[in-house]
Structure 1
Amino acid sequence: MESESINKFALHDLTDLRNELLQAGLDSWQAAELVSTFIAGRGYGVSSGDARTAVARMEFRNCSLECMQAEMEHLALPM
């Protein structure tokens, strides 16, 4: 089975972001802003509303790194 996934973000960058999200004590809005900044800083567009929804899903599911990567890849919009 072929994978259609394109890895837009380096695994070590996602690991750093995940650790920061887990340790910073941010509320959902702040976490969504951090996620948005992370994505935009790598040249992709991102919807603020979609980022908030994704952060809520990641919090609810206690997302693993693989889960987080899937969410981030879905959020990143080509510019």
Structure 2
Amino acid sequence: MTSKVEKFGDSDLSQLRNELLDAGLDSFQAAQVLAAFLSIRGYGIGTEQARDTVLRLENSNCTLDCMQQELERVALVM
């Protein structure tokens, strides 16, 4: 099955990763950053799902490809 979520640019994903890891955000703030990232690009995500996604990204030390796959999995096309 083909994903309906675009491939995000490496620079966008890298910027998102840096903001999530380096800004000293708690899980609620990081979830808001992730939700805003997706929203700006026309996608949605539930609050609880955003928190779960942020925790998975942090715990797995995701590469950019890993982040792309995770965002494809959780982003809701609006």
TM-score by length of 1: 0.83
Count of residues in Structure 1 that have an aligned counterpart in Structure 2: 77
Shift of 1:6: 5.7
Name the counterpart of 2:20: 21
Unaligned runs of 5+ in 2: none
Q: What is the Cα-based RMSD across aligned positions, in Å?
A: 1.7
**Deviating 4+ runs (over 6 angstroms):** none
| Structure whose residues are more often strand by fraction | 2
Pick 1 or 2: higher relative contact order, CA cutoff 8 A, min separation 6.
2
One-letter identity of the residue aligned with 1:71: E
Give the fraction of aligned pairs with identical amino acids, expressed as a percent.
Answer: 51
**TM-score, with length taken from structure 2:** 0.84
Gaps of 5+ in 1: none
Larger Rg: 1
